[in-house]
Structure 1
Amino acid sequence: MSEGKILAGFLAPHPPHLVYGENPPQNEARSKGGWEQLRWAYERARRSIEELKPDVLLVHSPHWMTQVGHHFLGVRHLKGKSVDPIFPNLFRYNFELDVDVELAEACCAEAAAAGLVTQMMRNPNFRVDYGTITTLHMIRPQWDIPVVGISANNSPYYLTTKEGLGEMDILGKATRRAIEKSGRRAVLLASNTLCHYHFHEEPQPPEDMSREHPQSYEGYLWDMRIIDLLRQGRTQEVFQLLPQFIDEAFAEVKSGAFTWMFAAMGYPEIPGELHGYGSVIGTGNAVMEWNLERHARLASAVAA
């Protein structure tokens, strides 16, 4: 068996409004569109997934919250209805997905061996959270690639940010080891928004884009600063700024997916590709890609 590898990582935010705006048959709510810049950004990301042809998609979602340990989906086939508790008027999604249980168990074991508290989720009637479902739908609406779902242990909120994100760093490195041993060609999905300041009242209709804009100008400036650094491949600087970004922009990356993904990829100092940026109820959302496969291919060509 050849060694597995991480093909790419995506910053893949999960506002349920994007699914609502797309009107897929799985979602009960209907719209007249909206949030096109972000939906089109995901269309560009989908083309990359099609080219990469991964064996598995791994997603870390802040809306599968676990108080004790890092949990992994451990049921081969899950089916049900995922409802956003804040926006049930927008997101009532009938999901059906296949889980790569073998890889999930390997990730769980590697993380436990590294000192983390971990657990497999074995409930066959488990309702998968809307963050996981939204990110997976937006990146691969065909639902034809097995997944590994990972919970967001709340350690960054109950411990210090540094301690909590330290756990996510360990989790990411354990994930990488599991992938390499598995022989899988994997894509990582960090289901995170950037600035998370948001409005508290919904327009009617919700898809009225004349009412959509960043809730916080300071948060928007922070998003642009972080995105610009990521586009330049200045990863180390981003992580030096991350605690301040989290504090001043209420950034959802505090929940850990962003750190998990970059730790698994080895914190590459390569330019990220921005597919698009937009606000959803005032929050800042960027769809970005770090294509390790393409970067390695170009580096080999230059060396030759």
Structure 2
Amino acid sequence: MSDHPIVGGYLLPGLPHPLLAADQNAGWGRLRRAFEQVREDIRQSGADLILMYSTMWPSVIGHQIQADPEPVWTHVDELFHDLGAIPYHFKMDSDFAEQFHLACKNRGLATRTVSYKGFPIDTGSVVCLKLTNPDNFLPAVICSSNVYADRAETVVLGKAAVEALKQSGKKAVAVVVGTLSNRLHQTWIDPAEDHIHSLKDQEWNQKILAFLEAGRLEDVAQLSRQIHAEARVHKVVNFKSFWWLSAVMGAHNLYQGTVYGYEPVYGTGSAVIGLKRAAHAAQDLEFDEESPDVYRGDRNVLAPSLEARGEFDSQLQVGPALGEED
């Protein structure tokens, strides 16, 4: 496992409050300090780049990959513009972005690179890079989250990233930008009174935190649909990101997890979590889904064809129908 190109993985929240308003709420300040711990971890990781998958950068047709070598702009969050502007000047690994794009294409995925002045980098990516890589110590590559991608497509996207890293000879830290629960307060609140939106959100957040702290990444990935159904997370791509992170890091539970911080940010469950490889796996659950290597299109798993359904129904006809005689 020592030759794996991913040297660490992180889940980082992307709302701007820890960056722009850390002094307005004690929890937001604690998250700011948690980001600073991750910053030091990344500096000591031996990584050559930061590979980001942002749930706050949605795409509709395939995935997009940021390839502008030096994006410069001033960003204002569309929801929390009252917190102020975020000027940025980032450094991107445009060569690796092209390699990643080619690896995706070779595996049947629809991707494209984007590189033009003023391209709207999402709030989450801006916030996470400003807090963990403020001096551009490492170049980054940002990938969007396709809102329609199923598990197979997302897993293949992660495998394409690993393939590109191996071909390039580079090592990376993998960063997922997103929250756990993501229901926002719908009315203005006093920052000092921020809290998780609902008890149900809080309960599911705590379960996920316990799994990840125990290093059970693949279990969370396998349970993501159930978590989404139970918690009714509005933004389905949040838990889709665990499919990607598992595919990038390795689909198993051989991890040591660290919860650097967990706080409400305007109702959302915002956690700063790190994962590193461990010598022994956490308790396994039964992994019941395949691990595809090439994307071959959506599988009609929720609504089988009439032909398939008829064949399935016929197999259930083990005796005469009601009203028929033997």
Alignment partner of 2:163: what SS? helix
Partner residue in 2 for 1:18? 18
> Which residue type is aligned with residue 204 of structure 2?
W
- Write the deviation string for residues 79-130 of structure 1: whole angstroms up to 9, x where unpaired: 0111211111114211101110111111111111111101111223312111
Once the two structures are TM-superposed, the CA of residue 239 in structure 1 deviates from its matched residue by: 2.4
> Does the 8 A contact of 2:182 with 2:268 survive in 1?
yes
> Does the 8 A contact of 2:53 with 2:143 survive in 1?
yes
Partner residue in 1 for 2:197? 215
Alignment partner of 1:98: what SS? coil
> Does the 8 A contact of 1:4 with 1:181 survive in 2?
no
Identity score, percent: 29
Partner residue in 2 for 1:173? 159
> How is 1:1-304 mapped onto 2 (pairs within 5 angstroms)?
5-22=5-22, 32=24, 34=26, 35-156=28-149, 164-204=150-190, 208-209=191-192, 211-251=193-233, 252=235, 254-255=237-238, 256-269=240-253, 270-292=255-277, 295=278
Whole-Å Cα distance in 2 between the matches of residues 257 and 98 of structure 1? 24
> Does the 8 A contact of 1:110 with 1:178 survive in 2?
yes
> Does the 8 A contact of 2:215 with 2:275 survive in 1?
no
> Does the 8 A contact of 1:108 with 1:119 survive in 2?
yes
| Equivalent residues, number | 275
Q: Bigger relative contact order, structure 1 or 2, given CA contacts below 8 A and separation 6+?
A: 1
Once the two structures are TM-superposed, the CA of residue 233 in structure 1 deviates from its matched residue by: 2.2
Alignment partner of 1:115: what SS? coil
Partner residue in 2 for 1:28? none
Partner residue in 2 for 1:160? none
> Which residue type is aligned with residue 112 of structure 2?
Q
- TM score, norm. by length of structure 2: 0.79
Unaligned segments of structure 1, at least 5 residues: 23-30, 157-163, 300-304
Whole-Å Cα distance in 2 between the matches of residues 51 and 253 of structure 1? 33
Once the two structures are TM-superposed, the CA of residue 290 in structure 1 deviates from its matched residue by: 1.1
Distance 1:196 1:250, change over 3 A: farther
- Write the deviation string for residues 208-262 of structure 1: whole angstroms up to 9, x where unpaired: 32x1111110111111111111222233432232112122324456343332122
> Which residue type is aligned with residue 31 of structure 2?
L
> Which shifted more, 187-196 or 90-99?
90-99
> Which residue type is aligned with residue 32 of structure 2?
R
Unaligned segments of structure 2, at least 5 residues: 282-326
Whole-Å Cα distance in 2 between the matches of residues 152 and 188 of structure 1? 14
| Two-structure CA RMSD over aligned residues (Å) | 2.1
> Does the 8 A contact of 1:81 with 1:127 survive in 2?
no
> Which shifted more, 247-256 or 78-87?
247-256
Distance 1:258 1:237, change over 3 A: closer
Partner residue in 2 for 1:27? none
> Which residue type is aligned with residue 195 of structure 1?
S
